[in-house]
Every structure is written in structure tokens, then in C-alpha cells.
Structure 1
Amino acid sequence: MLRIFKILLVLSVASWGLLGAFGNILDWSGTTGAVTAATSMTTFDGGADNWRATSNPAIIIVGALAIVFFKSASAILCLIGTWQMWTVRAGEATAFAKAKTYALAGCAVAIFMLFSGWIVIAETWFELWRSEVMREAALDAAFRYCGMIGLIALFVGMHDE
């Protein structure tokens, strides 16, 4: 029974990545707008005057593409992991543990993107923590996703009998 829930949880991370990447592509202006808001530092007083603030289109495009790439990579790895876990769900614990590799890698990619992109780069480097507008919309959401995916990875990674 726990193996089935582990599979479903990894599938939910894959769904998050697929839906997120699809949404980022469909609302490309919103995606680039969020990256612009972070990098330009215009959503809080004095931010745009900071030497780190930039509206360089290349940086904005690279940031937006990175979001789509890492969400897609996370989803693909989690889907592969889901399939592998599903095919050995009734097998030996060692086979199921080995099947978790791609699933856990997918979760790690998602955590990497959320933490490095939004917490390290946006919040720390571009001081997005100072923005009343973006704090809840971007940073709180990234923290929530990162935390939930991390918990899922811990649960999935636990030893199976």
C-alpha cells in the first residue's frame, strides 16, 4: 500500500512540473514578467537604483527558459521514476529502491530550481524579500513547493520492506 502512495506522490510531482511548464509557456509574458520583476528590482522602493538591478532581455529570457527547462526535466524524470516504480511495485525491496532513482532525481531537480532560482538568486541576490508584491506570489509559493517536494522525496526515499 505504501508503495502505491509513493508512486502517486511522485506522479503528483511530475504533474506539478508538467502543468507548471505548460502554464509558463502558455503565459510566457507572465513568466518573463515574473523574472523581470525579480531582476529589475522595481517592486520595492529603491530597488531599481541598486547596481544589481537589471532589465537585460538576455538575462530575463535565460531565467524564464531555465524555469521551463527545470520544471520539464523534473517532470520527465519523475514520470520515468513513476513507471519504473510501478513496474516493480510487487517485487523485492531492492528492486523497488533502485526504481526510485529517477523519481528522486526528478524531485531533486525541482528542489534545485526552486531553491537556487527563487531563494538564492531572486530573494538573496535581487533582494526580492523586500517586495510586498512578489514575496507572497513568488517566494512563498517557491518555498511551499520546495518544502512539499522535499517531504515527498524524503517519504519516497524511505526504506521499503
Structure 2
Amino acid sequence: MTLRSIKILVLLMVGVFCLIGAVFNLTSMEGDLAWVSLVVIGDGATGVADWQKIEAPWVVTICWAVIPLSKTLAGLLCLMGAGKMWSARHADASSFQGAKYVGLVGCGVMLAMLFGVFILIAETWFQQWQTPLGAGILGAAERYIVCIGVITFFVYLPDDESRTSVY
């Protein structure tokens, strides 16, 4: 297996991960809305002022919708990127590097959603790091950020398939 093939494979896995997550969110919308509602009212957290809390159901729904929509977009971009990379797998280094762009944008969308929604909003704005709910969701979000971040960096790294050895 070549380094290019591994890069295609891990990008493909990020795409599948994102789409599975989106399907899960869409099929468990009612329960997810309840969780999002608890987060945006600052349930169980100290230091969340009344003016910070979001209680309007339509705003809660918009907050929730960002999650599966971002996952869907990221997943589709990653799969498209993996397809472009697959098509360019025998091309020169510059062409293969260019084929990575769409997939890297997909990873960026997922990283932005994870950091923005879970770290910036849930953890920082709504102080969910103080709650059992936050402990569960924030740990997972951080794990996903690290994994997808490392994969993004790995895929982005230029490679020269003319080298036959790493020594």
C-alpha cells in the first residue's frame, strides 16, 4: 500500500464518519434537540447569566441544525476529495497535491464545527465543562478534533512517490 493510498483511505474514513454522524443526528433529532436545549440554557453550569441563555425553540432548532448540516457538508466534501485523490493517485506530485483541496476543505468544515459548536459555544459560552453532560460531549468533541486534525495534517503533507524508501 502506498502513502497516497493511505491518505485516500483516511480521508474516506473521515467522510464516512461525518455522514454516519449526520444520519445519527437526523434520526435522533428529538433527543438531540433536548440535549442542545439543555446546553444553551446553561443547565447545571454556574456563571451563565440570564442574558446568555437561549430558550426560544426556533433558535434551539437552528443551533441543532448546524451540527448535522456541517457533518453532511464535511462528509460529502471529504468523499469528493478522496475521489479526486483516487483519480490522481498515479499523477505527478503537484497534481496529487491539488486533488487534496476539496477533501481538506471538508476536514476544515468538520474541525470548524467541532471547535465552534462544542468548544467555543458549549464549553466556553455555556460553561458546560462544569456539567456531566458537558463532560461526555466535550471529551468526544476533543477526541474528534485531535483525530481529524492529525488526519488533515497528514493528508496535506506533500509526498513524492518517486521515493521508494523512507531511509
Q: Which amino acid aligns with 1:146?
A: I
Q: Which amino acid aligns with 1:141?
A: A
Counterpart of 2:116?
116
| TM norm structure 2 | 0.90
- Please report how far the alpha carbon of residue 116 of structure 1 lies from its aligned counterpart in structure 2 after TM superposition: 0.5
For the aligned residue pairs, the C-alpha RMSD in angstroms reads: 1.4
Q: For 1:117-136, what aligned pairs fall within 5 Å after superposition?
A: 117-131=117-131, 133-136=132-135
Q: Does the 8 Å contact 2:80/2:102 carry over to 1?
A: yes
Counterpart of 2:76?
76
Matched, 1:16 2:12: no
Q: Which amino acid aligns with 1:154?
A: F
**SS of equivalent residue, structure 2 residue 64:** helix
CA-to-aligned-CA distance 1:18-49 (integer Å, 9 cap, x gap): 000000000001221221121011134675x6
**SS of equivalent residue, structure 2 residue 52:** coil
Q: Select between 133-142 and 143-152 the one with higher mean Cα deviation.
A: 133-142
Counterpart of 2:152?
153
**SS of equivalent residue, structure 2 residue 51:** coil
Greater percentage in helix? 1
Counterpart of 2:30?
29
- Please report how far the alpha carbon of residue 56 of structure 1 lies from its aligned counterpart in structure 2 after TM superposition: 1.5
- Please report how far the alpha carbon of residue 151 of structure 1 lies from its aligned counterpart in structure 2 after TM superposition: 0.3
Q: Distance in 1 between matches of 2:91 and 2:83?
A: 14
Q: Distance in 2 between matches of 1:6 and 1:119?
A: 27
Count of aligned pairs = 159
Q: Percent identity?
A: 35
Q: Does the 8 Å contact 2:67/2:113 carry over to 1?
A: yes
Q: Which amino acid aligns with 1:16?
A: F
Counterpart of 1:51?
51
Task: Choose 1 or 2 for highest CA Rg.
Answer: 2
CA-to-aligned-CA distance 1:105-147 (integer Å, 9 cap, x gap): 000000000001110011111111111x123321111111011
Counterpart of 2:90?
90
Q: Distance in 1 between matches of 2:24 and 2:79?
A: 18
**SS of equivalent residue, structure 2 residue 111:** helix
Alignment gaps of 5+ in structure 1: none
CA-to-aligned-CA distance 1:59-94 (integer Å, 9 cap, x gap): 210111110110000001001101000011111101
Q: Distance in 2 between matches of 1:106 and 1:2?
A: 20
**SS of equivalent residue, structure 1 residue 51:** helix
**SS of equivalent residue, structure 1 residue 159:** coil
